[in-house]
Homo-oligomer: A and B are copies of this chain.
Amino acid sequence: MSISTTDDLGIFESLESQVRSYSRSWPVVFDRAVGSTLFDEEGRDYLDFFSGAGALNYGHNNPALKEVLIRYLADDRIIHSLDMFTTARRDFLQTFSESILAPRDLDYRVVFPGPGGANAVEAALKLARKVTGRESVVNFTNAFHGMTLGALSVTGNSLKRGGAGVPLVHATPMPYDDYFNQDYPDFFYFERLLTDSGSGLNLPAAVIVETVQGEGGINAARAEWLRGLADLCRRHEILLIVDDVQMGCGRTGGFFSFEEAGIVPDMICLSKSISGSGLPMALTLVRPELDIWEPGEHNGTFRGIAPAFATATEAIRTYWQDDALEKSTIRKGARVEGRFNAIVSRHGEADLVSKGRGLARGLQFADGETADAVCRAAFERGLLMETSGPVGEVMKILPALTITDAELDRGLDIIETSVAEVLAA
């Protein structure tokens, strides 16, 4: 299939800011979407291994969620409610508490920090600073936490950092797991700086970490590294914030991506797939003793998007009453891993690496141009994927957790073909 760009793109080009990016890779106009399939306005279909950058773990227009959403709207139930009490908010809190927190023996207070992941991060950083009375935060190389000023200061990407227009301060990057190919002990540098009173590192209020760095290149931290980090934080009385915005909600298997490591963060940031329907919603979970805010000290307009609460509740009811989805995700992830390993073996290039955990998977190429060419080749074949990593060298896939095996295989076939085509060129 060859994608023509006969669609009318004029209004986008003349009116929308040139900051737009995804539309440059996929110059077609999308209209409908169901499950793992998108349709452009000319009716062509695309298999989705992108999933709204992780915001669509249950697929597009998931029937169970769609039904709930339409019924909610049809019944004139409240849509916008800030932090007012609503039946939708109560249902969500109860369901989240009973089906997510309680079975995992987790005890958190729920903050509704605003509509998106950056709000969840900003709220966590603010509260961590208030609780500890310290300013600085440690983040990790190649971290991505968002584009607002506080979230951007703990993000690694230099293009995005440069866009801030003011110096980004109060954050110090530390090496993420495997940053040195395991040549050195974990945390050898971080720990050394903390125990050396002359190191010049301001004692941090918090460490913020992704268990798998999605934007950073599908870098999956080992469970023992995460445990080591949790231990280091406990010993030095530093708060541990897990940013589970992209990797939470089942992306790596369990509802929270850190479950596998057996750690319990002090704060957790959730967004993207928490509403299930693609509608904006975000949560910051904080240990009860950290909940020392004054009423209204953090607020915002879009903290009560009740239709999102309704679909979030339904998503938990549908997918998180047992471990079926978790097991399926792990199984599908293994399937992807097997295929990726095979691709790596076949091409036998040192620069070609299979990466990831659960259904967050990547193929790392020698450079960004190669990864980009593979994504373009796949798009020509009707598959949507994006690249990530410092120079875009990682072909990144985040299929819906609800993808069928047939769809998964079809996409993997396209990837295999596309890789072969590009590497042969």
Contacts and interface: CB of A to CB of B under 8 A. Distances in A.
A30 B199 CA distance: 34
A52 B80 CA distance: 6
Interface in A98-153: 109-112, 114-119, 122, 125-130, 135-136, 139-143, 146-151, 153
Interface in A253-292: 271-272, 277-280, 286, 291
Interface in A36-64: 38, 41, 52-56, 60-61
A291 to B, nearest CB: 5
A26 interface: yes
A7 B87 CA distance: 10
A109 B171 contact: no
Nearest to A91: B11
B300 A146 contact: yes
Given A33-B77, A114-B116, A295-B18, A173 B159 contact: no
B148 A122 contact: yes
B116 A301 contact: yes
Contact of A198 (B16, B114, B141, B169): B141
A102 to B, nearest CB: 11
Contact of A41 (B52, B54, B87, B301): B87
Contacts of A321: none
Nearest to A130: B165
Interface residues of A, number: 151
Interface in A12-37: 12, 15-24, 26-34
A61 B74 CA distance: 9
A269 to B, nearest CB: 12
Given A52-B80, A158-B203, 4 more contacts: A52-B81, A117-B301, A127-B165, A173-B200
28 contacts: A17-B286, A17-B293, A18-B109, A21-B299, A22-B84, A29-B86, A30-B81, A32-B78, A33-B78, A52-B81, A52-B301, A55-B302, A56-B80, A66-B76, A69-B73, A114-B115, A114-B118, A114-B148, A119-B147, A129-B166, A141-B193, A141-B198, A143-B200, A156-B198, A175-B192, A196-B390, A198-B389, A279-B307
